């Protein structure tokens, strides 16, 4: 996976697919204050909408959520304002500012003013056709986007929930990603997506996506000031009694230089977990995790998407 230039932080040309989307995602967690968030803005010009979702990890274990959708037919990129949430591009591939001032379900007023500063270049694919050489790649391009980038960074600023403000400290890190192209949540048969920040100099990101054409492995490792692509994610899981919600993820990430990286995620919160299990639905379990690698423990995400059958069981068994 190559390093992408700053032009990919701006809007891409819109294509004709009705599900064409340009989406932005950020996550953040500071273990010292047990607070952070994950958020996504999706711009769908062919449908004429832009929507945002923001979920804040409340200190102590709860989740505060808010969202908004409005009409938007033209592409925008430097300032994405959707209801109470604003994403502001300060410097492409270097700095973003996110602010919020609104009311969350069950948690009253929430506000934040946080800044993402990149710790590494943006890694990904620009969506050119020569990158879709096999059937699994082609199937993925039709459901989760043609182009994609990921980048790790450090967060600064503050988050306020129900009048309680926390300041983010030195351990507040997270990843961001951006995707452009068709986006259909029901397309993949499953996925396992990882966002891993071991320390300020060591980061992993990537995904295993299940398609009708086979499993697609994509990802990267940033270590010792350089990156390498991931060739394979070997994943096993430990589950809750519901048989769907993951509580531990054991990963061997094999990079294209042949090195094996052993990582363990102890999942400390999952959303929606058991509450999201229902027959014949798609569930995306966002797992906030403590990731251990080479004797060091950092933070990040272990996210599982499942297609559930008529008995509310995963169509693809969980390894």
pLDDT over 70 (residue 97): yes
User: Residues 181-200: what's their mean pLDDT?
Assistant: 90
What pLDDT digit, counting tens, does each position of 100-121 carry? Answer: 999 998 899 999 999 999 999 9
pLDDT over 80 (residue 257): yes
Distance CA 217, CA 207 (A): 6
> What is residue 144's predicted lDDT score, i.e. its pLDDT?
52
> What is residue 187's predicted lDDT score, i.e. its pLDDT?
77
Q: Which of 36-45, 166-175, 180-189, 291-300 has the lowest mean pLDDT?
A: 180-189
Range of the domain at 120: 17-184
User: Residues 202-213: what's their mean pLDDT?
Assistant: 94
> What is residue 142's predicted lDDT score, i.e. its pLDDT?
47
Distances (CA, A) of 195 to 53, 72, 293, 315: 18, 30, 13, 24
The count of structural domains within the chain is: 2
> What is residue 130's predicted lDDT score, i.e. its pLDDT?
46
pLDDT over 50 (residue 4): yes
Q: Is residue 2 a part of any domain in this protein?
A: no
Q: Which one of 184, 208, 228 terminates a domain?
A: 184
What is the CATH classification number for the domain harbouring 223?
2.40.370
Distance CA 270, CA 247 (A): 8
Q: Is residue 8 a part of any domain in this protein?
A: no
Q: Are residues 153 and 222 in the same domain?
A: no
Sign of the torsion angle spanned by Cα atoms 255, 271, 80, 75: positive
Q: Is residue 4 a part of any domain in this protein?
A: no
Residue 145 confidence class, pLDDT cut points 50, 70, 90? low
Residue 7 confidence class, pLDDT cut points 50, 70, 90? very high
Q: Are residues 104 and 194 in the same domain?
A: no
For the chain, percent of residues with pLDDT exceeding 70? 94
Specify whether the CB–CB gap between 156 and 102 falls below 8 A: no
What is the CATH classification number for the domain harbouring 175?
2.40.370.10
Specify whether the CB–CB gap between 307 and 314 falls below 8 A: yes
Q: Is residue 115 a part of any domain in this protein?
A: yes
Q: Are residues 289 and 154 in the same domain?
A: no
Q: Are residues 276 and 142 in the same domain?
A: no
What pLDDT digit, counting tens, does each position of 210-236 carry? Answer: 988 899 999 999 999 999 999 999 999
Collapse the DSSP code of 136 into the 3-class scheme (helix H, G, I; strand E, B; otherwise coil) and give the result: helix
Q: Are residues 242 and 174 in the same domain?
A: no
Specify whether the CB–CB gap between 277 and 244 falls below 8 A: yes
The residue whose two tokens read 């990919």 is 8
pLDDT over 60 (residue 203): yes
Residue 132 confidence class, pLDDT cut points 50, 70, 90? very low
Q: Are residues 133 and 256 in the same domain?
A: no
Q: Are residues 97 and 149 in the same domain?
A: yes
What pLDDT digit, counting tens, does each position of 71-93 carry? Answer: 999 999 999 999 999 999 999 99
Q: Is residue 302 a part of any domain in this protein?
A: yes
Q: Which one of 184, 207, 241 terminates a domain?
A: 184
Q: Which one of 184, 203, 219 terminates a domain?
A: 184
Peptide bond into 272 cis (omega under 30): yes
What pLDDT digit, counting tens, does each position of 164-186 carry? Answer: 999 999 999 999 999 999 977 66
Largest CA distance in the chain: 52
> What is residue 143's predicted lDDT score, i.e. its pLDDT?
46
Residues 6+ apart with CB under 8 A from 22: 11, 12, 42, 43, 45, 75, 77, 178, 179, 180
Q: What's this model's pTM, rounded to 2 decimal places?
A: 0.91
Q: Are residues 176 and 234 in the same domain?
A: no
Specify whether the CB–CB gap between 1 and 18 falls below 8 A: no
Question: Average pLDDT over the chain, rounded to whole?
Answer: 93
Q: Are residues 153 and 270 in the same domain?
A: no
Q: Are residues 142 and 249 in the same domain?
A: no
């Amino acid at each position: 996976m190559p390093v992408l230039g700053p032009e990919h932080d701006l809007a891409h040309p819109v294509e004709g697919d009705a599900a064409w989307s340009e989406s932005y995602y950020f996550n953040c967690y500071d273990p010292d204050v047990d607070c952070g968030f994950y958020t996504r803005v999706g711009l769908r010009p062919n449908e004429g909408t832009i929507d945002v979702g923001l979920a804040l990890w409340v200190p102590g274990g709860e989740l505060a959520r808010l969202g908004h959708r409005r009409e938007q037919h033209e592409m925008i990129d430097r300032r994405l304002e959707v209801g109470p949430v604003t994403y502001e591009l300060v410097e492409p591939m270097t700095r973003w500012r996110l602010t919020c001032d609104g009311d969350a379900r069950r948690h009253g007023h929430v506000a934040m003013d946080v800044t993402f500063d990149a710790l590494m270049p943006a890694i990904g694919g620009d969506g050119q056709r020569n990158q879709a050489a096999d059937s699994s790649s082609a199937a993925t391009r039709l459901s989760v986007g043609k182009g994609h980038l990921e980048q790790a960074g450090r967060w600064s600023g503050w988050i306020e929930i129900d009048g309680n403000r926390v300041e983010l400290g030195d351990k507040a890190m997270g990843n961001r990603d951006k995707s452009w192209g068709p986006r259909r949540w029901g397309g993949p048969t499953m996925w396992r997506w990882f966002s891993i920040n071991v320390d300020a100099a060591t980061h992993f990101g990537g995904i295993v996506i299940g398609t009708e054409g086979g499993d697609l492995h994509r990802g990267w490792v940033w270590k010792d000031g350089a990156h390498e692509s991931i060739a394979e994610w070997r994943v096993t899981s430990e589950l809750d009694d519901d048989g769907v919600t993951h509580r531990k993820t054991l990963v061997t990430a094999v990079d294209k230089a042949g090195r094996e990286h052993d990582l363990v995620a102890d999942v400390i919160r999952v959303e929606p977990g058991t509450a999201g299990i229902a027959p014949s639905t798609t569930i995306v379990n966002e797992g906030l995790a403590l990731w251990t690698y080479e004797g060091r423990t950092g933070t990040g995400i272990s996210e599982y998407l499942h297609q559930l059958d008529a008995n509310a069981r995963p169509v693809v068994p969980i390894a």
